[in-house]
Chains A and B, each alone.
Chain A
């Protein structure tokens, strides 16, 4: 009996890795890219890529991509696309600037107002896509132009700023140390350690549950290695952040949203229905699923997240510029596809998208530090996107 288990175990690892090449491969790719830049940056520039400051920067620079990628995944899973998010980022940032700087609204009122504006924009676009069946590509391409134009109009072509400190803290604020130690920031350490424990506990619980229901769990070796890598990376990043200025507010928002969306997509009926809708809309509708409303809601959700990203970007730049958010839609969509979502809808995971966005972010940051020109950067990012999708298609056909 024991022999049998061992033999099937060994075979299981190979089969399992084959079946889950993508998920585990993504994490390995991210680790490899980070290591690559650590060495390259050290060799060429003589600086530490994994310095506390740079890690903090990495999150501050990429938070908006990750936040929007969460919503974009839902849109893409539902079988649509949203090209307008970059312009919506610009527009909501402009609204925030006009309200706070020109009109003197308090931040506490500006934030919900901007989110509401985002919701309305998402609803307006989603309405045409869902209920009039206008292709989302067209509707959001129009939205991209319209909201870029409205941004220019609202800002009268000028930069508007600076923002009050409280608004800036959306992006550049840090969670203060509740323990009063400050360096290293004990709150940050505690929270990260808690998160690591939570991830491990949930992983183990999922395994136990799988076994209870007779689902073949992933081999213990793979489980251990993956969780070791994730936990180690988490603790390392946490330690670095703690020894600099603590946990950025953005990281907290990001983490909470990631967990929420992962839960939503994997464990709620509504999340499940979005996947079914993307997989086969007609079958989903004939199964009693209100497909139109779901499409509408994914666009509403996208609008709100774009508005949140818009405020974060504005807060980070400390002013709203007519050009803010330009081209963001491409980064976001690329992150989703690098993260393994299917172009035809119906598949893709939150965790994949987050890792995909981090891969893009690390490459942006690493190449910039190495002094690689924007020209080469674009070429390299384009090729990485292409390679990731080719890898997917190749795997699927094999």
Chain B
């Protein structure tokens, strides 16, 4: 096996920033090569250089591909050579069919007239390769994210891919979809497709990668062989320091019951007769961090959003008690007034007004807090923003910076600031560390601990089990709209959570409720 790709001394400068500084990367024929690094380390930029998004001449250094110098003028050039990138944000047209998407820009046509029978035949072949059995005419928008990801790969296969680049392919996938995807990667490898995977998830890298290159601050730190891959080593190289504790220490001291949800039932907002949450019940104590585990689609987000002002679902029934008294949470405004806050998993679409500055985002949920009789005080507003900028160490030159320009971790801190300023008793955090780097995660954990120490209740929804195990006093496990189990910190382990999910009957670990 020879070398397929060699990137030598790649540097890329943006106005004011040196995003890449003499990065070297060598990828062998037929291997799966992982690239790791914190957010902003330069991984995506490097891949954009490789795939022709930044054409030859806009960067320094040389790329040798298949033995010759690569001089891409654009994505089309690199695709013609079989280098195909699948971006984090999928590039599918949701209203078009699978077949139309697969051959978009590359239609099975003669003189511009599409040969549908042949296109459908080819689509079916490609779908088989990625393990899908959907009819080619299915609208892509009707598929789940996991299947859409597979469609993207099929699309790459349609273009005779030789080097497939996957930018955080499992970020939005639930556990079993991720597993399927990783299996597919190994299968493609067996067929001789060289792959580069960018990922934050170290267990996945350990599973599929042959070698791993770690990038920090725009430079290559190390390239490790499979034998040398260990979590500690990768984390140390990524953050440039030993991370003895991935979760901050905390002494937990739960008090009285703060919030209690009982008999909670929610139906799907559009599909008739589809019950999303069945008879859920849980409680949160003062100063407690409670986890909600479960696979994606288990109904965790639906549970949280339906409690938070019925922002999700129909025909909602059940009671929410705060401090022993039933409260009205029938609108978001009322839920906030009752002392609830919900930090969304989708901060870009549901959490932030991206084009507005930090200061305006922080005060949005509690404008009354910086206003007198409906008239805003710009000064007070700024003071508040500066306070949170310090308290949360939001890294920004000014609180008047638009949030769209911040990194994921800093955006998340802005969302958290917004909700803290609303001064809730219970915060529900939905995937609070998704898509943010290791260092920022630690900061978010620290903030969560502080919130609990202040006597607030924190509910943490997460797909990362180690995170739940590391942070929570108690963990509820959800599956198919039910809470199937409750585990104390001592009882909880990845295996027990998984077995609760798989068995789904809840008899393993405590007070499960069966409808």
Task: Tell me if A397 is interfacial: C-beta within 8 Å of chain B.
Answer: no
Are the CB atoms of A279 and B379 closer together than 8 Å? no
Of residues 374 through 419 on chain B, the ones whose CB sits less than 8 Å from some CB of chain A are: 374-376, 378-379, 382-383, 400, 418
Task: Tell me if A290 is interfacial: C-beta within 8 Å of chain B.
Answer: yes
**Chain B residues with CB under 8 A of A5:** none
**Chain A residues with CB under 8 A of B241:** none
**Chain A residues with CB under 8 A of B418:** 287
Of residues 170 through 195 on chain A, the ones whose CB sits less than 8 Å from some CB of chain B are: none
Of residues A213, A286, A346, which shows the largest number of chain B Cβ atoms within 10 Å of its Cβ? A286
Interface of A is mostly: helix
Task: Tell me if A28 is interfacial: C-beta within 8 Å of chain B.
Answer: no
Are the CB atoms of B367 and A273 closer together than 8 Å? yes
Task: Tell me if B364 is interfacial: C-beta within 8 Å of chain A.
Answer: yes
Known contacts A270-B374, A286-B344; A279/B333 CB under 8 A: no
**Chain A residues with CB under 8 A of B342:** 286
Give bound CA distance, A70 to B332, whole Å.
Answer: 30
Task: Tell me if A220 is interfacial: C-beta within 8 Å of chain B.
Answer: no
Are the CB atoms of A283 and B351 closer together than 8 Å? yes
Known contacts A269-B371, A346-B355, A346-B356; A282/B400 CB under 8 A: no
Task: Tell me if B42 is interfacial: C-beta within 8 Å of chain A.
Answer: no
Are the CB atoms of B350 and A286 closer together than 8 Å? yes
Known contacts A270-B374, A279-B354, A288-B365; A209/B332 CB under 8 A: no
Are the CB atoms of B353 and A346 closer together than 8 Å? yes
Task: Tell me if B311 is interfacial: C-beta within 8 Å of chain A.
Answer: yes
Known contacts A272-B360, A288-B333, A290-B333; A283/B379 CB under 8 A: no
Task: Tell me if B368 is interfacial: C-beta within 8 Å of chain A.
Answer: yes
**Chain B residues with CB under 8 A of A102:** none
Of residues 247 through 274 on chain A, the ones whose CB sits less than 8 Å from some CB of chain B are: 267-270, 272-273
A-B CB pair tally, cutoff 8 Å: 84
**Chain B residues with CB under 8 A of A20:** none
Of residues 236 through 284 on chain B, the ones whose CB sits less than 8 Å from some CB of chain A are: none
**Chain A residues with CB under 8 A of B309:** 286, 288
Per-residue A-contact encoding for B330-347, CB less than 8 Å = 1, 0 else: 011101100000101000
Are the CB atoms of A276 and B360 closer together than 8 Å? yes
Are the CB atoms of B365 and A287 closer together than 8 Å? yes
Question: B427: shortest Cβ distance to chain A, in Å?
Answer: 14
Are the CB atoms of B379 and A268 closer together than 8 Å? no
Question: B148: shortest Cβ distance to chain A, in Å?
Answer: 21
Are the CB atoms of B375 and A283 closer together than 8 Å? no
Question: B432: shortest Cβ distance to chain A, in Å?
Answer: 15
Are the CB atoms of B368 and A212 closer together than 8 Å? no
In-complex Cβ contact of B356 among A213, A214, A269, A279 (8 A): A279
Task: Tell me if B307 is interfacial: C-beta within 8 Å of chain A.
Answer: no
Are the CB atoms of A287 and B364 closer together than 8 Å? yes
Give bound CA distance, A293 to B418, whole Å.
Answer: 22
Task: Tell me if A166 is interfacial: C-beta within 8 Å of chain B.
Answer: no
Task: Tell me if A351 is interfacial: C-beta within 8 Å of chain B.
Answer: no
In-complex Cβ contact of B375 among A267, A276, A285, A286 (8 A): A267
Task: Tell me if A347 is interfacial: C-beta within 8 Å of chain B.
Answer: yes
Question: B143: shortest Cβ distance to chain A, in Å?
Answer: 22
Give bound CA distance, A280 to B418, whole Å.
Answer: 15
Question: B352: shortest Cβ distance to chain A, in Å?
Answer: 6
- Give the number of residues in A that approach B within 8 Å (Cβ atoms): 26
Of residues 36 through 68 on chain A, the ones whose CB sits less than 8 Å from some CB of chain B are: none
Are the CB atoms of A272 and B400 closer together than 8 Å? no
Are the CB atoms of B311 and A213 closer together than 8 Å? no
Known contacts A215-B400, A276-B364; A209/B353 CB under 8 A: no
Are the CB atoms of B364 and A284 closer together than 8 Å? yes
Known contacts A267-B375, A276-B364; A286/B356 CB under 8 A: no
Give bound CA distance, A98 to B360, whole Å.
Answer: 48
Give bound CA distance, A137 to B510, whole Å.
Answer: 55
**Chain A residues with CB under 8 A of B422:** 288
**CB nearest neighbor in B for A278:** B353
Are the CB atoms of A283 and B333 closer together than 8 Å? no
In-complex Cβ contact of A285 among B311, B371, B378, B382 (8 A): B311
Are the CB atoms of A268 and B332 closer together than 8 Å? no
**CB nearest neighbor in A for B347:** A283
Known contacts A279-B353, A279-B356; A286/B332 CB under 8 A: yes
**CB nearest neighbor in B for A216:** B398
Task: Tell me if A275 is interfacial: C-beta within 8 Å of chain B.
Answer: yes
Question: A290: shortest Cβ distance to chain B, in Å?
Answer: 7
**CB nearest neighbor in A for B379:** A213
Give bound CA distance, A283 to B311, whole Å.
Answer: 11
Are the CB atoms of A212 and B379 closer together than 8 Å? yes
**Chain A residues with CB under 8 A of B368:** 269
Are the CB atoms of B382 and A276 closer together than 8 Å? no
Give bound CA distance, A221 to B254, whole Å.
Answer: 59
Give bound CA distance, A280 to B333, whole Å.
Answer: 17
Of residues A212, A288, A346, A347, which shows the largest number of chain B Cβ atoms within 10 Å of its Cβ? A288
**Chain B residues with CB under 8 A of A272:** 360, 364, 367, 376
Per-residue B-contact encoding for A270-311, CB less than 8 Å = 1, 0 else: 101101100110111111111000000000000000000000
Question: A320: shortest Cβ distance to chain B, in Å?
Answer: 38
Give bound CA distance, A267 to B377, whole Å.
Answer: 7
Give bound CA distance, A292 to B73, whole Å.
Answer: 48
**Chain A residues with CB under 8 A of B336:** 288
Question: A11: shortest Cβ distance to chain B, in Å?
Answer: 14
Are the CB atoms of B375 and A268 closer together than 8 Å? yes
Are the CB atoms of A283 and B360 closer together than 8 Å? no
**Chain B residues with CB under 8 A of A276:** 353, 356, 360, 364
Give bound CA distance, A288 to B366, whole Å.
Answer: 9
**CB nearest neighbor in B for A270:** B374
Give bound CA distance, A270 to B360, whole Å.
Answer: 13
Are the CB atoms of B374 and A209 closer together than 8 Å? no
Give bound CA distance, A27 to B179, whole Å.
Answer: 60
Give bound CA distance, A285 to B335, whole Å.
Answer: 12
Give bound CA distance, A289 to B336, whole Å.
Answer: 11
**CB nearest neighbor in A for B332:** A288
**Chain B residues with CB under 8 A of A273:** 367
Give bound CA distance, A268 to B364, whole Å.
Answer: 12
Of residues A267, A282, A287, A288, which shows the largest number of chain B Cβ atoms within 10 Å of its Cβ? A287
Question: B318: shortest Cβ distance to chain A, in Å?
Answer: 20
In-complex Cβ contact of A282 among B349, B360, B371, B374 (8 A): B349
Give bound CA distance, A209 to B382, whole Å.
Answer: 11
**CB nearest neighbor in A for B353:** A279
Q: 17 more A-B contacts (CB under 8 A) besides A267-B378, A289-B364?
A: A213-B379, A267-B376, A268-B374, A268-B376, A269-B375, A275-B356, A276-B353, A276-B364, A280-B349, A280-B354, A282-B349, A283-B350, A284-B353, A286-B332, A286-B344, A288-B332, A289-B332
A residues contacting B by CB (< 8 A) are 209, 212-215, 267-270, 272-273, 275-276, 279-280, 282-290, 346-347
Could you list 19 examples of A-B contacts with CB < 8 Å? A209-B379, A213-B379, A215-B382, A215-B400, A267-B378, A268-B376, A269-B374, A272-B360, A272-B364, A279-B353, A279-B355, A279-B356, A283-B350, A283-B353, A286-B309, A287-B332, A287-B364, A287-B365, A290-B333
B residues contacting A by CB (< 8 A) are 308-309, 311, 331-333, 335-336, 342, 344, 349-356, 360, 364-365, 367-368, 371, 374-376, 378-379, 382-383, 400, 418, 422
Q: Top 10 nearest A-B pairs by Cβ distance? A: A279-B353, A269-B367, A287-B365, A280-B353, A288-B333, A288-B336, A288-B332, A287-B364, A213-B379, A213-B382
